[in-house]
């Protein structure tokens, strides 16, 4: 199902990669445990090679790239980035060259983190790997990509850069406008009180807000911070929301719509803390569902912790958006072995 904010949105080129809708299923045992009505949106099944929510975003970036006749994709992200990995897979399927710029965002990276999971898959897809030395300099990372794109252009290539910085039009957010409409259609007459999503780059979060405001305006969208604290993330999303509104030519997202929680962020990006560990174990032991330590464990922790301190009322209908990232589990295997031994 496709949903457009206005007729202008329908004109954005899109390369469809997902067999929609992804499943929406109830988590029965955890629902009973917390006395809520808890569901999971299985976007971990979206797209190629272990899937993930970034596929929805990349449908629009690859749509734009193909419309411009690009033969090379350039993208930046962390060593275990799902965004980067899916871009590499799609580029391989389309016969395009992929240039992946990896940033060292996690302190004290282990050998398994640097060489397994998504990092290994990137190499298997035949991508060219380059590195950016700073892990918290998105504008600098984007500039480095544009410089590489300029170099490739001089060699006769037709590069397309997928930017990460907050000042670029958040084209990928359109994918989660579609996801919101998909969720509303699946839920039918009994809509969700709250949808919980990850909030890192912010595109999925903003798209979900925009989609829900149009499709189910009473549904609250809460973003669980996975990279920066809620103060810094709010500043980022305020900038991005204005860019989104300009992009779709409609004032759909306001500052008041941006609701954030950062209770599982500690001890930092890509590092598994107590709240995320508890959430990861609960979901595996009660429902046989697996989440990754860097993102989705911290998103599910937003539900677990807020149920425990009664911020989520009993009887509420809550949706957890599983954004994938399962390939990244292998980058944390030493930690996980200790947790589950």
Residue 308 lies in domain: 9-52+172-339
Q: Which of 162, 190, 208 is the last residue of a domain?
A: 162
Determine the pLDDT at residue 108.
79
pLDDT band at 105 (very low <50, low <70, confident <90, very high): confident
* pLDDT tops 50 at residue 1: no
192, 328: one domain: yes
Q: Which residues are catalytic?
A: 81
Coil/strand/helix, residue 116: coil
Evaluate whether residue 4 is within a structural domain: no
Evaluate whether residue 2 is within a structural domain: no
Total of domains in the chain: 2
Distances (CA, A) of 3 to 41, 173, 267, 319: 18, 12, 38, 20
47, 190: one domain: yes
Residue 123 has which token pair? 């190499």
153, 185: one domain: no
- pLDDT tens by residue, 128-139: 999 998 878 999
242, 187: one domain: yes
145, 218: one domain: no
Evaluate whether residue 122 is within a structural domain: yes
> Given the structure tokens 């996980």, which residue do they identify?
336
> Given the structure tokens 């590092």, which residue do they identify?
271
Q: Which of 162, 185, 217 is the last residue of a domain?
A: 162
Determine the pLDDT at residue 2.
45
188, 321: one domain: yes
Coil/strand/helix, residue 269: coil
Evaluate whether residue 3 is within a structural domain: no
Distance CA 333, CA 336 (A): 5
CATH of residue 270's domain is: 3.40.50.1100
215, 323: one domain: yes
Q: Which of 162, 194, 223 is the last residue of a domain?
A: 162
Determine the pLDDT at residue 80.
93
pTM, two decimals, is 0.95
Beta bridge partners of 129: 100
């Amino acid at each position: 199902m496709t949903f457009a904010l206005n007729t202008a949105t329908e004109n954005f080129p899109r390369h469809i990669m997902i067999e929609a809708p992804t499943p929406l299923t109830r988590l029965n045992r955890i629902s009973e445990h917390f006395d809520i009505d808890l569901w999971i949106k299985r976007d971990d099944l979206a797209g190629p090679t272990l899937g993930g929510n970034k596929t929805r975003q990349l449908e629009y970036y690859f749509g734009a790239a193909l419309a411009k006749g690009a033969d090379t994709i350039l993208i930046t992200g962390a060593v275990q980035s799902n965004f980067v990995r899916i871009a590499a897979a799609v580029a391989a399927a389309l016969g395009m060259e992929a240039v992946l710029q990896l940033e060292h965002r996690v302190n004290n990276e282990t050998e398994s983190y640097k060489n397994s999971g998504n990092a290994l898959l990137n190499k298997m897809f035949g991508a060219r790997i380059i590195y950016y030395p700073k892990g918290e300099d998105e504008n600098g990372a984007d500039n480095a990509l544009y410089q590489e794109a300029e170099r490739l252009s001089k060699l006769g290539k037709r590069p397309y850069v997928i930017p990460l910085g907050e000042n670029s039009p958040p084209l990928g957010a359109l994918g989660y406008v579609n996801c919101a409409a998909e969720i509303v259609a699946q839920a039918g007459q009994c809509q969700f009180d709250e949808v919980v999503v990850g909030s890192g780059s912010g595109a999925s979060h903003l798209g979900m807000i925009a989609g829900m405001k149009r499709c189910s305006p009473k549904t609250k969208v809460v973003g669980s911070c996975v990279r920066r604290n809620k103060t810094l993330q709010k500043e980022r999303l305020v900038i991005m929301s204005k860019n989104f509104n300009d992009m779709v030519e409609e004032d759909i997202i306001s500052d008041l719509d941006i609701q954030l929680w950062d209770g599982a962020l500690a001890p930092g990006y890509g590092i598994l803390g107590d709240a995320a560990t508890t959430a990861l174990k609960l979901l595996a032991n009660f429902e046989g569902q697996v989440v990754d330590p860097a993102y989705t464990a911290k998103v599910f922790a937003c539900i677990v912790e807020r149920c425990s301190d009664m911020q989520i009322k009993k009887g509420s209908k809550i949706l957890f958006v599983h954004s994938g990232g399962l390939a990244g589990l292998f980058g944390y295997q030493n930690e996980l072995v200790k947790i589950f031994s």
